[in-house]
Structure 1
């Protein structure tokens, strides 16, 4: 069994400013080589040496230039619902990071029923399948293959989750997201910084979105948006907020459903999460006025083994907590494990709110593609 000390060792890694500076300083001499390799790769696709495939439907890519969380998955969720509301039949395609399914095409959901759990599908695909009824979710390393399967299943729009660097599929809308707290980090290419590619790669984008904008970071986000408009004048920029929507919990049948907020009023809450930006989740809970008696950040994509759950519950009991609360993504991973959890477990459902001009422009781009056919 893991001790609390072992649990402590599984906390979110790589988010401390001092440790980031240290590792990026070590990697800085190699950054030009990595950046050059990414530029060569881009040119090979641009000149047709590496093949990019066109699909018989509009392709929407939601990605980022930086490593770590920028809210790609919630944005995919928002766009899928927006498309559904306007009569489209979207499908979501993901690499399935962290999932154990090894097929060329892995069907997480056919839009009617869930077919793969989080361990096989990966955290984000399972989360999207759970929260997007009517939307097929598929994974595969070569994403044109699950995308083609989705079209055979009746989809008329393809959404690529984390697709900016996946150049094998030609995209019609190419969105790049920046987290409003982190922006471009130190603006250096990995391993000397957070950038997956040199900044010049942003010219492939058709739109920029600054996500997680709030009152604390709005001014800084606005200045960064102006910088993007100055350097990439032809590419529109929009802001998006990420706000709490409702509390959820696991139903007896294993599904996740909304629940009344009074289940947490004045109760001692122990929070935990396994996401890229855990402090953002903690601040969100604090803004909701929850009475937090403890908070435990895990590494992104954390798998909750029985030993980890026991250690987590032990820490919550030591803090004299009455309930546990986590992100909806983490709750999805735990939905089949409720019998192992000895205190009430809630999840916080978030929703994306974009500027109206962004939604209108996005829908117009999809309709324009169809009009050209």
Structure 2
């Protein structure tokens, strides 16, 4: 009981601090700085994974297909030198490893070759100006920037995980909100992810509408679109194993919402005999892999299966059993609507 009271008090204090910070931006005391090209921000109001990274990649692809020179800027959480700017990809090749890039920028760089530059930099204003000057980029996509109000944006997108949209609606540390839920009013567009995994997805939009009655809402489902052998993924080939759904699998990951990954695998017909989740952005070592191997042996698992975000940190480690990588795909229910909204920014 004492701990609950203490955490509630800390959440109240945290909320007040965030409210004061937001108020300073609203009254002009703190300034938001505009770049010379349109900016699209993708973020969320909660901690944990909501499916931002696949959406960032999709938006970059839409812009590239429209003929824009695109740059994705991400903070690169838990990378080796968080204050250093890292050019993860110049759009033609990946120029940094995952340790110096961070797992999400590295994953995006690999997925967006030929489509987008990717930069890891905590100072997104400076990174944006540098990208515009050096690469002549015409559009910038910010990864995880809803709370990063120092930089102005032309489209402010908030992703919401339908399986756990707002937790208990309390801010940290009692809840999962990064800021009070009322601040959903700042969003220009909501993208609700994992709607096919939620028990009552319609209630998510109802709750959003209590704080933002005008921003469009786009619904997404998640599907496992491809499964690749980890060794083949590392070597650049992408052949899928046969009859994997008939095998006893050990699922593991280090993402914000691990249960959604395991639930997705089960929904898509994979036989999960055991699971293990690590903390988000966990850096794997051989001890972790050996521990997984021992547990897999105890549970008579035939192989491992993990996410693309995890796979980029595993290529130098040795598994005792085959390890496969499941790529999750966003299925946009209102695909044309999303394209229209993105291209409206592109032509504004």
Q: Show the counterpart of 1:329.
A: 309
C-alpha spacing 1:164/1:256, structure 2 compared with 1 (3 Å): farther
Instruction: Measure, in 1, the Cα distance between the counterparts of 2:324 and 2:229.
Output: 5
Instruction: Measure, in 2, the Cα distance between the counterparts of 1:23 and 1:124.
Output: 34
Q: Show the counterpart of 1:164.
A: 146
1:60-108 CA deviation, whole Å, 9 max, x = no partner?
Answer: 1111111111111111112112222222222111111010134542111
Instruction: Measure, in 1, the Cα distance between the counterparts of 2:29 and 2:182.
Output: 20
Matched, 1:116 2:93: no
1:281-323 CA deviation, whole Å, 9 max, x = no partner?
Answer: 1122222322333221111111111211111122222223222
C-alpha spacing 1:185/1:289, structure 2 compared with 1 (3 Å): same
User: 1:187: Cα distance to partner?
Assistant: 1.1
Q: Which runs of no fewer than 5 residues in structure 2 stay unpaired? A: none
Instruction: Measure, in 2, the Cα distance between the counterparts of 1:264 and 1:253.
Output: 16
**Contact 1:70/1:177 (8 A) holds in 2:** yes
Instruction: Measure, in 2, the Cα distance between the counterparts of 1:332 and 1:343.
Output: 18
User: 1:272: Cα distance to partner?
Assistant: 1.0
**Given the alignment, which residue of 121, 128, 131 partners 1:147?**
128
**Contact 2:218/2:338 (8 A) holds in 1:** no
Superposition pairs of residues 126-275 of structure 1, within 5 angstroms: 126-134=106-114, 135-151=116-132, 152-214=134-196, 216-217=197-198, 220-250=200-230, 254-262=234-242, 264-275=244-255
Q: Show the counterpart of 2:331.
A: 353
User: 1:255: Cα distance to partner?
Assistant: 4.3
Instruction: Please give the secondary structure, in 2, of the residue aligned with 1:258.
Output: coil
**Contact 1:229/1:236 (8 A) holds in 2:** no
Instruction: Measure, in 2, the Cα distance between the counterparts of 1:22 and 1:309.
Output: 39
Superposition pairs of residues 286-325 of structure 1, within 5 angstroms: 286-325=266-305
Instruction: Measure, in 2, the Cα distance between the counterparts of 1:239 and 1:25.
Output: 37
User: 1:265: Cα distance to partner?
Assistant: 4.3
Q: Show the counterpart of 1:365.
A: 344
Aligned length: 345
CA RMSD of aligned residues (A): 2.2
C-alpha spacing 1:336/1:243, structure 2 compared with 1 (3 Å): same
Q: Show the counterpart of 1:31.
A: 11
Instruction: Please give the secondary structure, in 2, of the residue aligned with 1:226.
Output: helix
1:149-182 CA deviation, whole Å, 9 max, x = no partner?
Answer: 2223132111111000001110000011111011
With the length of structure 2 as denominator, give the TM-score of the two structures: 0.92
